[in-house]
């Protein structure tokens, strides 16, 4: 199975998301060996989930969840609150670590709450020094120098890093960092990479679908 995961980050108004969905649904063709995941801002989760529920092999997840279970934590969106709406959440993205000071302890708490509420973490690491919590299946390796820079890490370097990382048994290894349709095929040719976590390219449905189509043929 190939996994193409799109992270919208803090982008798209409601009308812009509606336009994205309209274009995506018209062009999307499912493939039995390709799973597509989409991670919008929290405000778009309901809309995107409802709009794409009829599509095969497509799921919607959150970009993060709270490290708290519940209680007096104004502004937090807990795993409990998202339970039943999503089945996946990105946890540990380097932007969350950098801009919001999320530590390994905080991220481990997020994973615990996610798993307790039936949410599968897409756990992001920057290198082999970032620990991976027990129970994680999806590990997304995102070298910081490649995120949003247009300078993707070469596939051979990514495979070398995979060998250094202490991956959990039966894990799914995902690469993220300036992926597009032009370079995606080289990663799949290694037979070491199961999919991608994509940022900027996600914002254009046709560019995103171009990567999906590469996964269908490799």
| Residues marked as catalytic | 93, 142
Helix extents (H) in 102-150: 104-116
- CA–CA distance, 179 with 103 (Å, rounded to integer): 26
Query: How far does CA 83 lie from the centroid of its chain?
Result: 18
- CA of 176: how far to CAs of 7, 53, 94, 144, 194, in Å? 10, 25, 11, 9, 11
Length of the chain: 218
Q: Which helix (H) or strand (E) holds 26?
A: helix 14-27
The single residue listed with the structure tokens 């070469």 is 154
Question: The tokens 């060998």 sit on which residue?
Answer: 163
């Amino acid at each position: 199975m190939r996994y193409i995961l799109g992270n919208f980050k803090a982008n798209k108004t409601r009308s812009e998301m509606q336009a994205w969905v309209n274009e995506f649904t018209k062009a999307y063709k499912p493939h039995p060996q390709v799973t597509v995941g989409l991670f919008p801002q929290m405000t778009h989760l309901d809309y995107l989930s409802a709009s794409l529920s009829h599509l095969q092999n497509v799921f919607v997840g959150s970009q993060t969840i709270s490290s708290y279970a519940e209680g007096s934590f104004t502004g937090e969106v807990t795993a409990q609150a998202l339970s039943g709406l999503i089945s996946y959440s990105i946890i540990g993205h380097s932007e969350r670590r950098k801009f919001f000071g999320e530590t390994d302890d905080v991220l481990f708490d997020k994973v615990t709450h996610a798993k307790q509420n039936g949410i599968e973490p897409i756990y992001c690491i920057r290198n082999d020094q970032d620990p991976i919590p027990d129970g994680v299946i999806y590990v997304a390796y995102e070298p910081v120098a490649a995120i949003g820079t247009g300078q993707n890490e070469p596939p051979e370097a990514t495979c070398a890093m995979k060998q250094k990382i202490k991956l959990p048994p039966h894990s799914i290894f995902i690469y993220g960092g300036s992926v597009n349709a032009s370079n995606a095929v080289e990663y799949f040719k290694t037979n070491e990479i199961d999919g991608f976590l994509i940022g900027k390219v996600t914002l254009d449905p046709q560019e995103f679908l171009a990567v999906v189509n590469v996964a269908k043929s490799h």
